[in-house]
Amino acid sequence: MVIKPDADNHGEPAHLNDLAQRRGKAVADQLRSLGATAAVLHLLPRDAADPVTAPHLLINATGRGW
């Protein structure tokens, strides 16, 4: 699973990057609590391209409703 976090475009880039990473971490933590292992989770930086070419699940962690 690839988690691609994002934030809205309101605020400074450092704040948006921090918010996106916290959102992505929240998604990863929830998936781990449901049984996913770190080996199957890949958390991308904000605005990064998806590097995985094999079939996989892409989770766009945007907004409050991801």
| pTM recorded for the entire structure | 0.78
Half-sphere exposure of 64 (CA within 13 A, CB side): 0
Listed in order, strand segments (DSSP E) in 1-66 are: 2-5, 42-43, 58-61
Give the pLDDT of residue 25.
93
Give the pLDDT of residue 62.
79
Q: Measuring CA to CA, which residue among 62, 64, 57, 20 is closest to residue 42?
A: 57
Domain chopping of the chain, boundaries:
2-61
Per-residue pLDDT of the chain (66 residues; tens, 9 = 90+): 899 998 888 889 999 999 999 999 999 999 999 999 888 898 999 988 888 788 888 888 877 655
